[in-house]
Amino acid sequence: MDETEKAIRKIKNGVFVITFSLDGINYGLTTAWINRASFKPNMIMASIGRNRKGYNELLDCEIFCVNILGDVSIEIARHFGDTSGNNINNFKDLEFKFMENGSPVLKDSVAAFECKLVKKIDAGDHVVLFGEVLNGTDQEGEGMVFNREDFS
Ligand SMILES: Cc1cc2nc3c(=O)[nH]c(=O)nc-3n(C[C@H](O)[C@H](O)[C@H](O)COP(=O)(O)O)c2cc1C
């Protein structure tokens, strides 16, 4: 790994699952590259690989939920970060309910907010999506910090 890559990897990120529901199918996508983008209105940005399974459906859906995961939810992060296709319509035995605008929210998230997609910008092999926050729910616990060694 070159020095530039080593330097970039020192950026600290959380671990999130973007969830959404389209045509009766529930999607989940583990993401580390999410941050706040604006106070007024409340906006977040998420960088998504354009070839990810479910990416096109996410654009079609336009409404999604950002679930913030705590340390105890590492297996959930692994599940929705798996490249086998398990992230589509496979919430396993995970408990969830639907938010006001129809996005699934994971019971085990420490907080979650529902967003409306308002803008997207190409960024190399990723696309940065901007979501205006519509509503949020806060539960007990702190968000986990992404640690590469936890994910093979
Ligand atoms: C901890 C972790 C963080 C991830 N962060 C991102 C991310 O920020 N953006 C992204 O596009 N994919 C990210 N991924 C990868 C996707 O979650 C994963 O590729 C996707 O769910 C499965 O789709 P695929 O089979 O098309 O790759 C991450 C995966 C893990 C395990």
Tell me the per-residue pLDDT of 40-65, one tens digit each, with 9 for 90 and over.
Answer: 999 999 999 999 999 999 999 999 99
* Ligand 1: lining residues by beta carbon, under 6 Å: 15, 29-33, 47-49, 52-53, 77, 80-81, 83, 87, 146, 151
Q: Ligand 1 centroid vs 135 CA: distance in angstroms?
A: 24
> Does a structural domain hold residue 58?
yes
* pTM across the whole model: 0.96
Q: What is the pLDDT of residue 104?
A: 98
Domains contained in the chain, number: 1
Residue 3 lies in a domain: no
Which atom of ligand 1 approaches the CA of 29 most closely?
21
Give the nearest ligand 1 atom to 81 CA: 17
Within 8 A by CB and 6+ apart from 135, the residues are: 99, 100, 101, 113, 114
* Minimum-distance ligand 1 atom for the alpha carbon of 84: 25
Residue at 10 is within a domain: no
* Residue 151 is assigned to a structural domain of this protein: no
- Model confidence pLDDT, tens digit, residues 55-101: 999 999 999 999 999 999 999 999 999 888 878 889 988 999 999 99
Could you report the per-residue pLDDT of 27-40, keeping only the tens digit for each? Answer: 999 999 999 999 99
CATH number of 103's domain:
2.30.110.10
